[in-house]
Each structure stands twice: as structure tokens, then as C-alpha cells.
Amino acid sequence: MTIIKYRFSEVDENGKPQHLHQLWNEEKQEWTALTGTSSIVKILQVPLTFWAAGKTLEKLGWINSKIKVDGKYVEIPREERLKKAEPILELLKGMELEDYLNTLDKAYYAHRDSSDKSKEAGTALHSELEHFVKYKMCKVKVKKFDPRIKPFIDWSKENVKRFVASEAHCYDESPDMFVGGIVDVVMEMKNGTLAIGDFKSSRDAFPSQFLQLGGYSLQIKRNGLFSKDGEHQKKLDKPISSLIVVPFGMTPVVPQIRYSVAEYEEGFKAAVKLYRLLGFEGTNN
């Protein structure tokens, strides 16, 4: 297969909203979809299983026995948890069967409703972060930034020499990979090394998020960075030396850094194999 061009499309061939990284197949004269990098790592997102279960149980009066504050887990007093559960229990006792079933249905979909709200908030936050990075790259005057991104602004003043790229596209067309993705930010740190970063709304930085960055690192090394339409390419003059996840749900927000880039690259390769082995083809992000 001869590949001549990359592009990112927000609709499929039928006009349905979809995030598709595509390569042009010269022989078939058609666009071929790559597997999204974020789709690959979704098979490893075990913490989301517990999060979804927690959202369901919250509708029934449950709150977690521990919460994370300043990077450490803090025990919630049992009396406080009982106080939360008591009125829900009393309500359930007096329910008619039909109302009880409706309550269970709402509990079942609680994770979806919460996820939808989080996505909306996360999209707005992500847009503001992109705005800030591009402002720093272009040195143009802009309005004041959302206070929610202040932790990253402050951190970048202390640690980032310059921002190299924002919302940059990448891909790897090799048969063993055949993936594409979008990197939130590429930074040159004050020590002269390059880092790639990902902005998340999660309460912590998870292994799957660093694997995702490892996947981006592999793709950048192979083909560099591209614009959305694939017309403009940028090659980095240094290797990626660190992977940075910024979890905006963390209290306080502290960028989490991993320097074992090669290990996460190998981990991503293994995730691709597992993704294909388990038959998850067809979901692109």
C-alpha cells in the first residue's frame, strides 16, 4: 500500500460525527482509517470501572470511604458516610415498586450522565488550555484566562522554556501499529529537553494515560507532527525525554511526569497487540 497523505476528519463517509485519523490509499483511491491512540489505551482503563460503580452507588446513598487530597488518600469518617446513607435508605423503604425500579434505572445510568457532564466541562477546559498554549507560541494579546488553568500557567512559568506545538497530529502507518493521534502539547523544558503533555480532567494520572503519550512519542519519532489537513509537517530535532499528564481533577493540580519514555513506548506497542488480539477494531478516536 502506497501512502501519500494523512488527514483528520470529524465525520465518516456517511456524514456521521466521528473522529477519524486517515491515510490515503493510492491503490484503492480511498481514505483508510487508522486506529485512534486513545482507543488503544481504553482497554486498560481499569480505574474507570470503579468510578462507574461508584457513580451508581452514590444514587443509593453511598460515598467512598477515601478521597485523595494533596496526593494522599484521606479516610472519610464512618459517621459521615452513615449520615449520607440514612435518608436514602428511609426513602427506599417507603417506595412503591415502580418508583424503586425507576431509581435503579437512574443509578445504572448515573456514570453516563456524569461522564457527559464531565466531557462538556473537559472540552471547555481543554479549549482554554489550547488557547493559552497558542497564545504563548504566537505572543498575541488575549483576554484573561479561566482561573481553572492557573495551576498549569504557574507551573509552565517555572518549568517550560517554550511551547513547540499545540494540538499536533501524528501517525504511524507501519503494519504492527497503524495508529493516529493528536498531541495536546509539545514543550521544550528549561533543561533543554523535549516533553509531550496531555491535559486530563481526571482526579489522578493513570498508567493508561502515560501509555497514550508513549504511543504519541512513537508516532512523532516515525513521521513527525502534522496539521489537521496533513499539509504541514514538523520534525523535532530532539527525542522526547519526558511524558507529562496534567490531571485537572487532582487537588491541588500537579503535573505528573514520567521519564521512562522507552518503557511506555514498549507498553503502548503491547497494548496495540492486545487491542487487536481481543478484537476491538472499529472504534476510532
Q: Are residues 174 and 213 in the same domain?
A: yes
Do 28 and 58 sit in the same domain of this protein? no
Residues of the chain with pLDDT > 90: what percent?
A: 50
Q: Which of the listed ranges 8-22, 73-87, 91-105, 220-234 does the model predict with the highest average pLDDT?
A: 220-234
Question: Residues 198, 249: one domain?
Answer: yes
pLDDT at 90: 86
* 161 vs 10, more confident: 161
Report d(CA 19, CA 48) in Å as an integer: 22
Residues 138 and 20 in one domain: yes
Query: Does residue 42 fall inside a structural domain?
Result: yes
90 and 200 assigned to the same domain: no
Can you tell me which residue has the cell 460525527?
17
Per-residue confidence (pLDDT) for residue 84, from 0 to 100:
85
Q: Which one has a higher pLDDT value, 189 or 233? A: 189
Q: What is the pLDDT of residue 203?
A: 87
What average pLDDT score do residues 69-88 get? 83
Per the domain annotation, does 116 fall within a domain?
A: no
92 and 163 co-located in one domain: no
* Distance, CA of 56 to CA of 64 (rounded, Å): 12
Q: Is residue 282 part of a domain?
A: no
Same domain, 25 and 128: yes
Report the number of distinct structural domains present in the chain. Answer: 2
Compute φ and ψ for 199, nearest 5 degrees: -95, 125
Q: Where in the sequence is the domain holding 101, given as residue range(s)? A: 51-111
**How high is the pLDDT of residue 71?**
64
Q: Are residues 150 and 229 in the same domain?
A: yes
Q: Is pLDDT of 283 > 60?
A: no
Residue 13 pLDDT > 70:
yes
Classify residue 27 by its DSSP letter: T
Question: Is pLDDT above 60 for 284?
Answer: no
Contact call for residues 239 and 222 (beta carbons, < 8 A): no
Q: In the predicted model, what is the mean pLDDT of residues 276-280?
A: 84
Q: Is the pLDDT of residue 66 over 80?
A: no
- Residue 79 phi/psi, 5-degree rounding, is -60, -40
Q: pLDDT tens digits for 222-252?
A: 999 999 998 888 999 999 999 999 999 999 9
Say if residue 58 is in the same domain as residue 102.
yes
Check: pTM over 0.85? Answer yes or no. no
User: Distance from CA of residue 31 to its chain's centroid?
Assistant: 25
Mean pLDDT, range 71-88, rounded to an integer? 84
Average pLDDT value for residue range 55-81: 79
Structural domain contains residue 63: yes
- Asked whether residue 214 is domain-assigned, the answer is yes
Examine the pLDDT at 213 and tell me if it is beyond 50. yes
Considering 19-28, 104-113, 194-203, 274-283, the range whose residues carry the highest mean pLDDT is 194-203
Cα–Cα distance for residue pair 87/85, rounded to 1 Å: 6
CA dist 142 and 133 (Å) reads 12
Asked whether residue 267 falls in the same domain as residue 195, the answer is yes
* 256 and 155 within one domain: yes
Mean pLDDT of 256-279: 95
Q: What is the mean pLDDT of residues 147-171?
A: 96
Residue 218 has pLDDT above 90, yes or no: yes
pLDDT-derived band at 140, boundaries 50, 70, 90? low
pLDDT of residue 122: 54
Last residue of a domain, one of 111, 138, 153: 111
Whether 22 maps to a domain, the answer reads: yes
3 state SS of 239: coil
- Across all residues in the chain, what is the average pLDDT? 86
- State yes or no: pLDDT of 254 exceeds 90: yes
Q: Is residue 89 part of a domain?
A: yes
Average pLDDT score over residue span 212-229: 96
Contact 187, 165 (CB under 8 A): no
| Residue at 273 is within a domain | yes
Q: How confident is the model at residue 111 (pLDDT cuts 50, 70, 90)?
A: low
CATH number at residue 171: 3.90.320
Residue matched to cell numbers 501509555:
211
The answer on pLDDT for 137 being more than 70 is yes
Name the packing angle between helices 46-58 and 110-138 (round to 10°). 130
Same domain, 145 and 198: yes
Q: Is the pLDDT of residue 109 over 90?
A: no
**Burial of 271 by CB count in 10 Å (0-12 exposed, 13-18 middle, 19+ buried)?**
buried
- Evaluate whether 190 touches 242 at the Cβ level (below 8 Å): no
Question: Residue 59 and residue 108: Cα distance in Å, rounded?
Answer: 9
